[in-house]
Copies of this chain bind each other. A is one copy, B any other.
Amino acid sequence: MESHRSLTSLAHARIRDMVLSGELPPGSRIQIDALRKRLEIGASPVREALSILSSEQLVVRNEQRGFWAPEISAEDFGILLDTRCRVEALAFGDAIRHGGAEWEEQIVLLQYRLNSLNRTEKADAWEIAHRDFHRALISACPSTYLLNFCAQLYDLAVRYRNVASLAAYPERQVEDEHSQIAEAALARDAARAEHLLVDHYRKTGEFLYQQLAEREGAALKAG
């Protein structure tokens, strides 16, 4: 169990997970009182956590009217994906130019851990390892601003992956892609590494985008 220094940060972590996992579905209302009872935490920390989440774009705030889980759409996902590719390419390039021995070692280590896990069998552990690996790639970027932004975009993208709950995810060789990205990074080939990373994101995103677009088309006919 993770220990938290304050109930606010605990509430933040819990609610964040509920949003990212899709337990709080897109568009659904998030009532403070319901959360208060559910988490067995007072209203103040819950409220504060929601405030923070709303400035992280993981929750939508409507003053005096409450909080909601953000809506999703194919269009929004497309924009998110595109933003992520371009911003993370910047951070990745920086990291490749600035990273030292420690950065290299982290990448090697975390890539190994990631590839050791089976994505379907140990989904939770894989999620964490995947996040850690991608974070390690850019961790040597000197701009904390860029890194924060990348972390935020990562969360938003993970949420899309989860809430779309794809029945059949196409089995690409994601391991190979990760390996190639790591290899290019360690070879300090920024241009190639950036390209591979963006390509990786676009490939992963393409299928999800199609799913979302189809779903919207279907919903349009049904409604």
Give A residues with C-beta under 8 Å from B.
5-6, 8-9, 44, 47-48, 51-52, 54-57, 63-64, 79-80, 82-83, 86-87, 90, 142-146, 148-149, 152-153, 156
**Contact residues in B for A144 (Cβ distance below 8 Å):** 79
A79 to B43, CA, bound (A): 38
Given contacts A48-B48, A90-B86, contact A63 B9 (CB under 8 A): yes
Given contacts A52-B51, A90-B86, A90-B87, contact A143 B5 (CB under 8 A): no
- A44 and chain B: residue at smallest CB distance: B44
**Contact residues in B for A63 (Cβ distance below 8 Å):** 5-6, 9
Q: Nearest Cβ distance between residue A151 and chain B, in whole angstroms?
A: 12
Q: Nearest Cβ distance between residue A150 and chain B, in whole angstroms?
A: 10
Decide if the interface of chain A is mainly helix, strand, loop or mixed: helix
Determine whether the beta carbon of A83 is less than 8 Å from that of B48. no
Determine whether the beta carbon of B52 is less than 8 Å from that of A83. no
Determine whether the beta carbon of B48 is less than 8 Å from that of A79. no
Determine whether the beta carbon of B83 is less than 8 Å from that of A146. yes
A143 to B52, CA, bound (A): 21
Given contacts A48-B48, A63-B5, A87-B87, contact A55 B57 (CB under 8 A): no
Determine whether the beta carbon of A145 is less than 8 Å from that of B79. yes
Q: Nearest Cβ distance between residue A139 and chain B, in whole angstroms?
A: 15
Q: Nearest Cβ distance between residue A46 and chain B, in whole angstroms?
A: 11
- Among A5, A44, A52, A148, the one with the most B-chain Cβ atoms within 10 Å of its Cβ is A52
**Contact residues in B for A152 (Cβ distance below 8 Å):** 145
